[in-house]
Structure 1
């Protein structure tokens, strides 16, 4: 029987807070049980196992990040939308390191397809990139460029990977300008050679 006051949402929110405070790798069922003052078994009413818990944290964090990005890019287009998207992404990654780490775990494609938050993320990202005139397969390539650039920069910044005296924010602004230039001048796809 579930402990009174203990819900799946409370368990997942506590796991997300623990991830931010101690790192995603330190989120365990035992650590959460200690937090709530219950036995490990009490939590298995709310989550199946550690992987299920971490996926739920990923979905929670993905939804939070998407909501923040959606608010930031609303009514914007082009470079203005890109900068708002990028700044919000970076801010979330730095404010919520454990939650952000959870957004990088691989989620079963069927579960991802059922997640309104993940579908909304794709819609917002694709909508922003369509303003640059991109269609498939260039749209997917551009999403991969943004994700790898944003994630790489945030991961390096979070671990103190930038040792030069140059201001990290100033470099970030240049990265966004460079991405805008790349998206504006996206290389044309190659046409298939006609059969002769």
Structure 2
């Protein structure tokens, strides 16, 4: 018997849970229809395509990550803020691997500007003001920090650090220290464009 009260929000929430359990790539409308014990056409009134489903999960993931990061970084500056921001992302990637993957799903420009991703970018830029970086350098530094967090998290999830010393936790701490040192000296490292 089909479940009563099917809604877009319930569908996105169920898809988010499935993404964490089975992987973001496992999301299909057919799989979600089976979760709700409904026929596929029953979903179309709420979610028109797998792209729309994945976009909904991506927006949910970005909102959750932004909320956690805002809370973690609030009242902090410099290395403390950098560490809180990085730790929040790493923790999110461990606790919600499917949502972490979803947070990288391509969004159209309008959705991206309204998403938690835009809040994360603003938060990152604000955190970097503590390092006395200019506007353009904050963009470069934001990209560097994002690349570090994403790369480290993906390699860690894949078990790439499991076979050598020092352990990943020690490398993570050392890498945060290195990022902090780099950001502190960034202005003196100007290069010719």
TM-score (norm 2): 0.93
1:150 offset after TM fit, Å? 0.3
Q: 1:104 to 1:170 in 2, by over 3 A?
A: same
In the TM superposition, what whole-angstrom CA distance separates every residue of 1:135-163 from its partner, at most 9, and x where no partner exists? 22111100110011000000000010112
Tell me the C-alpha RMSD between the 2 structures.
1.6
Aligned residue number for residue 69 of structure 2: 69
Aligned residue number for residue 122 of structure 1: 121
Aligned residue number for residue 146 of structure 2: 147
2:33 and 2:179 map into 1 onto residues whose CA distance is 44
Aligned residue number for residue 14 of structure 1: 14
Unaligned runs of 5+ in 2: none
1:103 and 1:95 map into 2 onto residues whose CA distance is 14
Aligned residue number for residue 171 of structure 2: 171
Displaced runs of 4+ in structure 1, greater than 4 A?
A: none
2:67 and 2:111 map into 1 onto residues whose CA distance is 19
Unaligned runs of 5+ in 1: none
TM-score (norm 1): 0.92
1:191 offset after TM fit, Å? 6.6
2:156 and 2:145 map into 1 onto residues whose CA distance is 16
SS in 2 for 1:25: helix
Aligned residue number for residue 49 of structure 1: 49
2:131 and 2:32 map into 1 onto residues whose CA distance is 45
1:47 offset after TM fit, Å? 1.1
In the TM superposition, what whole-angstrom CA distance separates every residue of 1:162-181 from its partner, at most 9, and x where no partner exists? 12132211111111111101
Paired residues, number: 190
1:190 offset after TM fit, Å? 4.6
1:95 and 1:131 map into 2 onto residues whose CA distance is 29
